[in-house]
Amino acid sequence: MFKTISDTLENKLNGLYYGNRILLPFSCYVLKIIIEDDILMDFSPSSKSIYLNETDSFTEIYFKDFKNLKDTISKYESVKLIAVEKNKDIFQMENHIKLALRVGDNHKLIIEKTDEDILFLE
């Protein structure tokens, strides 16, 4: 069974992280990622900062500029991501979902929808 962003949020499912790699339990269109002070929007194969791989059942993201996300992101910070469900129109702003990804213990990646009040540079 393939999961969506909505399934993940409703069922409070987690992703995984290993070193500089994040695994999301859903496939999606990624529009923007904010990590520390970096705003990443170039997900082309030639990107020097990030490698993005989408499969039918999950999305994996490699952050090339970081060796270990656990050492980079404190428990009070998160990776911010703007994504769209695979079956939705990316050109409709109401389909853009703002997520916060927090690294937990034992390689657990906590995935939460952000409040509209949280600063996302559009």
- The pLDDT of residue 72 is 83
Q: Is residue 119 part of a domain?
A: no
Total domain count for the chain? 1
CA-nearest of 120, 119, 101, 103 to 111 is 101
Per-chain mean pLDDT for the chain: 90
**122: pLDDT strictly greater than 50:** no
Q: Is residue 88 part of a domain?
A: yes
Residues 6+ apart with CB under 8 A from 87: 4
pLDDT digits (tens, 9 = 90+) for 5-34: 999 999 999 999 999 999 999 999 999 999
Q: Is residue 118 part of a domain?
A: no
Q: Is residue 87 part of a domain?
A: yes
The verdict on pTM exceeding 0.95 is: no
Q: Which two tokens stand for residue 26?
A: 């859903």
Domain, as residue range, for 79: 5-113
- The pLDDT of residue 101 is 95
Q: CA 3 from chain center: how many Å?
A: 15
Residue 81 and residue 121 in contact, taking contact as beta carbons nearer than 8 Å: no
Q: Which residue has the tokens 């082309």?
A: 44
Q: Is residue 99 part of a domain?
A: yes
pLDDT digits (tens, 9 = 90+) for 42-71: 999 899 999 999 988 999 999 998 889 988
